[in-house]
């Protein structure tokens, strides 16, 4: 029985409800009257239900699709302005006891080099990341209670936060590790993590069990209910995601929105972020062996309709996507991107030798962080290294209510300007610095003339003189 408030995975991600929604979409995807009604509702910018959003996703009327894309751009502008938040992944260990068939770290892969960073190596990685200009990391690790127990993850988080190299400072550590217990989530919460990220991979239980034939991750219910345990433990920013390509994309799209509805129904707050990775080539993984791959056009439509369906949820695209695709989805709804990423264990401070390749997937955007920051500004975006909300306690429900009221600009815009200024002073190339200072001038003109603007101007002066870390 479908019940978004249920604590049971199979009730809040109910297979029958997804199948019924797919049928509903099939019979309504050309129903212009209904599509118009849904678009009208979406214009209120309060989101859509999974069924309504699915109808828009599958609509193939060109005129209506243009309206959908325009609306997505408009919502993106309203909620996120021109800010794009930057982060980098940091792989701690690729030891893993699971058998995920789409990931080269699966336990049956006997030839990929297995690596686990020591705390000393983590320090070197973090210094390399700080020297690039990063302030926000997403740590990643395979599931292995012997090699990567929770104590190792906690110690690594502590190490990361402790390193202050020159003006460098990692201010937010998001964590992407396997589903775990409430007790362990409490420990992560106490360690001061930002978002807890866990990709569902696929919402289809039967498919999920086939794609995860061995290891603890095989347990669909335990995995799907992980966000509930994380939230019970006090982590109120959680990040959802599916790996597009594993299952029919409409099924996944409905599933992820049902998951968001479930979190909202039970905890009063939806996901902080949604990630939209597509399956990519890696060591022993060939994406063409998965029959549900999606093309760029479908991918863009998914991003646009997620933007419309959950306007207040950040959306993340990694370096799995190339520059051109990233450019398009930034306009349609993506609010965070990774930059200068390495997807191997220990790839930042020392490039890996070819026979040492431990990458989880091949990167399609190999540009440096400086090149990405430069490119974003050329496109009219404001790159942001802000981590203020989490450090000021604007998380979970508090963050969402500010976001839903469209008040988040009041914090984000000045914080983005100040953190960009820090980046320009400390890490940018001469050319990026020039473009960046002009971009800041332009952004300052948009700020209302009030006492907050005076503080921003004074802080920019102080940053230029060497002070750091100002936030609203």
Residues that bind ligand SF4 (CB under 6 A): 96, 98, 100, 103, 105-106, 142-143, 178, 217
Rounded to an integer, what distance in angstroms lies between the CA atom of residue 12 and that of residue 144? 29
Q: Which is nearer to ligand SF4, 112 or 132 (CB)?
A: 112
Residues 6+ positions from 22 with CB-CB distance below 8 Å: 54, 250, 251, 254
Based on CB atoms, which residue is closest to ligand SF4, 47 or 104?
104
Residue closer to ligand SF4 by CB (options 109, 429) is 109
DSSP symbol at 113: P
By beta-carbon proximity to ligand SF4, the closer residue of 143 and 252 is: 143
What does the block give as tokens for 51? 């069924």
Q: What is the distance between the alpha carbons of residues 52 and 254, in angstroms, rounded to a whole number?
A: 10
Shortest CA distance to 97 belongs to which of 111, 109, 82, 81? 109
Nearest distance from C-beta of residue 110 to ligand SF4, angstroms? 13
For ligand SF4, the closer of residues 50 and 212 by Cβ is 212
In angstroms, what is the minimal distance from the CB of 274 to ligand SF4?
Answer: 18
CB of 156 to ligand SF4, least distance (A): 16
What is the Cα gyration radius of the chain?
Answer: 21
Residue 99 or 234 having the CB closest to ligand SF4: 99
HEC sequence for 372-420: HHHHHHHCCCEEECCCHHHHCCCCHHHHHHHHHCCCCHHHHHHHHHHHH
Contact 356, 342 (CB under 8 A): no
By the 8 A CB rule, do 301 and 309 touch?
no
Q: How far is the CB of 152 from ligand SF4 (least distance, A)?
A: 15
Q: How far is the CB of 98 from ligand SF4 (least distance, A)?
A: 4
Question: Nearest 5°: CA angle at 86, between 458 and 106?
Answer: 155
Residue closer to ligand SF4 (CB basis): 100 or 238:
100
Shortest Cβ 318–ligand SF4 spacing (Å): 14
Q: SS in 3 state form for 317-353?
A: ECCCCCHHHHHHHHHHCCCEEECCCCCCECCCCCCCC
Min separation Cβ 279 and ligand SF4, Å: 11
The nearer residue to ligand SF4, 199 or 267, going by C-beta atoms, is: 199
CB of 159 to ligand SF4, least distance (A): 21
């Amino acid at each position: 029985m479908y019940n978004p408030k249920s604590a049971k995975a199979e009730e809040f991600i109910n297979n029958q409800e997804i199948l019924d929604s797919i049928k509903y979409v099939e019979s309504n995807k050309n129903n212009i009257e209904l599509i118009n009604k849904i678009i009208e509702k979406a214009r209120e910018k309060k989101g859509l239900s999974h069924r309504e959003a699915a109808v828009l996703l599958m609509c193939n009327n060109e005129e209506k699709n243009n309206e959908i894309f325009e609306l997505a751009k408009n919502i993106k502008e309203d909620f996120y302005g021109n800010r794009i938040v930057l982060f980098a992944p940091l792989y701690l260990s690729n030891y893993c006891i699971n058998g995920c068939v789409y990931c080269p770290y699966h336990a049956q892969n006997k030839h990929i080099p297995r690596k686990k960073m020591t705390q000393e190596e983590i320090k070197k990685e973090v210094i390399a990341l700080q020297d690039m200009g990063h302030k926000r990391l997403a740590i990643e690790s395979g599931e292995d209670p012997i090699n990567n127990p929770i104590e190792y993850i906690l110690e690594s988080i502590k190490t990361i936060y402790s390193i202050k190299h020159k003006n460098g400072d990692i201010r937010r550590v998001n964590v992407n590790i396997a589903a775990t217990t409430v007790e362990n989530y409490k420990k992560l919460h106490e360690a001061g993590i930002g978002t807890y990220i866990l990709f569902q991979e696929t919402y289809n239980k039967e498919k999920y069990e086939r794609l995860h034939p061995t290891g603890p991750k095989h347990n669909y219910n335990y995995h799907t209910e992980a966000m509930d345990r994380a939230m019970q433990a006090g982590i109120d920013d959680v990040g959802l995601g599916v790996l597009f390509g594993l299952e029919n994309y409409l099924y996944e799209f409905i599933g992820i929105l049902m998951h968001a509805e479930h979190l909202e129904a039970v905890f009063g707050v939806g996901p902080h972020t949604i990630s939209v990775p597509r399956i990519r080539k890696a060591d022993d993984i060939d994406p063409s062996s998965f029959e549900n791959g999606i093309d760029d056009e479908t991918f863009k439509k998914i991003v646009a309709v997620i933007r419309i369906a959950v306007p207040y949820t950040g959306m993340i695209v990694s370096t799995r996507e190339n520059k051109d695709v990233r450019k398009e989805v930034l306009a349609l709804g993506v609010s965070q991107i990774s930059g200068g990423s390495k997807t191997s264990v220990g790839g930042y401070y020392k490039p890996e030798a070819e026979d040492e390749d431990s990458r989880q997937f091949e990167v399609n955007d190999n540009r440096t962080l400086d090149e990405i920051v430069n490119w974003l500004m050329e496109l009219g975006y404001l790159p942001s290294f802000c981590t203020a909300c989490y450090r000021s306690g604007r998380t979970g429900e508090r963050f969402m209510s500010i976001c839903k009221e469209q008040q988040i600009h009041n914090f984000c815009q000045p914080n983005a300007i100040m953190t960009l200024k820090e980046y320009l002073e400390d890490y940018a190339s001469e050319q990026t610095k020039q473009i960046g200072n002009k971009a800041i001038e332009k952004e300052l003109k948009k700020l209302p003339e009030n006492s907050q603007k005076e503080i921003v101007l004074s802080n920019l002066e102080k940053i230029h003189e060497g002070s750091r870390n100002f936030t609203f």
